[in-house]
Amino acid sequence: MELILVCILLCPLFFWHQIVYLPKEYYCHVPFKNLRGSLWILSTLYGIPLLLLSLIYLRITIFLRRQPNQRTFAIKQSQQRDLIVLRRIFIIIGLLMGLGIPSIVLLFMLFITGEEYPLTMRIMWLMLSLSMIVLSLSLIILTPQLKSIVLKKFQPN
């Protein structure tokens, strides 16, 4: 389902003829010098998931806030739970945004100087790969239920 959605969202790049062969990289991609194609890819592949993740976490936080608080102990426990959830949300979103910074810096350098850094595409792909790895590991580390499942898998019987 997600693959179909991504293909549909990236179809305008084909119709706009934005994807070209990059002779220095030996594959086809949207060059950074192409502003419309670069902005479309950044917003589609990085902006929309980050926005949806933020909205989902915001909805979870609102749900946790609306839980009925009846006793003092329950209120403290609820506040602690809210604080833990908010901390996890900020950690994950911060990690994803931090890993996107090198690509954005290289993009700004391109628009300021007019010359593309020779390793721009490779750094961009490296940061994308690292963000997938970091997101997977951070979800396992920050979610106690997932953490216990993974630890059970790697413990000797």
Q: What is the pLDDT of residues 86-119, one digit of tens each?
A: 788 788 888 888 888 998 898 888 889 988 888 8
Residue 22: strand pairing partners: 27
pLDDT in tens, 115-147: 888 888 889 889 989 988 988 898 888 888 888
By the 8 A CB rule, do 50 and 41 touch?
Answer: no
Q: Any idea where the domains of the chain sit in the sequence?
A: 2-149
**Phi–psi pair at 34, nearest 5 degrees:** -85, 100
| pLDDT at residue number 104 | 84
pLDDT at 69 over 60: no
- Give the Cα separation of 39 and 134 in Å (integer): 24
Higher pLDDT, 2 or 100: 100
- Tally of residues, the chain: 157
pTM: 0.67
pLDDT at 74 over 80: no
pLDDT band at residue 75 under the 50/70/90 scheme: low
| DSSP per residue, the chain | -HHHHHHHHHHHHHHTT--EEETTTTEEE--TT-HHHHHHHHIIIIIHHHHHHHHHHHHHHHHHHTS---SHHHHHHHHHHHHHHHHHHHHHHHHHHHHHHHHHHHHHHHHHHS---TTHHHHHHHHHHHHHHHHHHHHHHH-HHHHHHHHHHHS--
